[in-house]
């Protein structure tokens, strides 16, 4: 066991880890942040997507002890009761069906819109290609992303 410092959603955590824990395991099992989901566990589905350094990263294939930069999870987007524009847009546009893919979708969308708040449909589809929705809710997800981008650009 060794001490590992991990900063998640601007809060620093000192954890005793064996070293073989994935970031996903640490978030869910050690830090009780279950917003990031477990599904395929082999980098295919995107439900485990978080942000590190503003980039969408798959936490199921990231070793927690190997992370040196701040991690942002779905729990870290809202400011108190005020939802992030992407979260708000997903609600307003009915983009959530079963909801399982949504945290990952939102994280990938936030990473995209922070870099480019005015993406084209093609750019959205390209960037979200690592997030699978089994409910096939893509049209409303893309609409929400476009709308959220407009709000983020205004702000």
Partner 1 sequence: MLLNPLTLHLPKTSLEAAKLFKELEDSKVLAGGTFLLNSMKLLKTKGTRTARNVLSLARVDELKGVSFDGDTLTIKAMTRINELFDSPLLGDKGHLNILHTVCRNISTNPIRNMATVGGNLTCRYTWTEMGAVMIALDAQMHFLGPDGKEDVMPAEDFFKNAARSEKLFTHVTIKAQKEAVAAYRRVKKTIHVDIPSLAICLKTEIKGKQWYNTRVGINNGLAFAQRDPALEAFLDKSVSSPDLGKQALEHLTTAIYDTRTTEYKQHMFRVSLRSAIEEICQK
Which 3 state secondary structure label does DSSP give 145?
Answer: helix
* Positions 11 through 50 that interact with partner 1 (CB under 8 A): 18-22, 25, 41-44, 46, 49
Please report how close the Cβ of residue 45 comes to partner 1 at its closest, in angstroms.
Answer: 10
CA-CA distance, 45 to 131, in Å (whole number)? Answer: 5
**Nearest CA among 48, 100, 50 for reference residue 71:** 50
DSSP 57: E
The answer to the question of residue 98 lying near partner 1 (CB under 8 A) is no
Contact, 52 vs 42, CB < 8 A?
Answer: no
* Positions 115 through 134 that interact with partner 1 (CB under 8 A): 126-130
CB closer to partner 1 out of 69 and 92: 69
CA-CA distance, 131 to 57, in Å (whole number)? Answer: 11
Binds partner 1 (CB under 8 A): choice among 8, 26, 31, 65: 65
Kindly list the residues in this chain that would bind partner 1 in the complex (CB under 8 A). 18-22, 25, 41-44, 46, 49, 55-58, 60-63, 65-66, 68, 108, 126-130
């Amino acid at each position: 066991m060794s001490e590992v410092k991990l900063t998640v959603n601007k809060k620093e955590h000192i954890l005793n880890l064996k070293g073989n824990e994935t970031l996903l395991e640490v978030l869910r099992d050690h830090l009780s942040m279950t917003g990031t989901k477990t599904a395929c566990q082999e980098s295919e589905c995107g439900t485990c997507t978080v942000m590190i350094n503003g980039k969408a990263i798959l936490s199921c294939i990231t070793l927690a002890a190997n992370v040196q930069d701040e991690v942002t999870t779905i729990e870290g987007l809202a400011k108190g009761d005020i939802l992030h524009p992407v979260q708000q847009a997903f609600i307003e546009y009915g983009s959530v069906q079963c909801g399982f893919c949504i945290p990952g979708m939102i994280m990938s969308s936030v990473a995209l819109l922070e870099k480019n708040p005015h993406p084209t449909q093609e750019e959205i589809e390209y960037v979200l290609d690592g997030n699978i929705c089994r409910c096939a809710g893509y049209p409303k997800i893309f609409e929400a992303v476009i709308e959220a981008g407009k709000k983020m650009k205004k702000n």
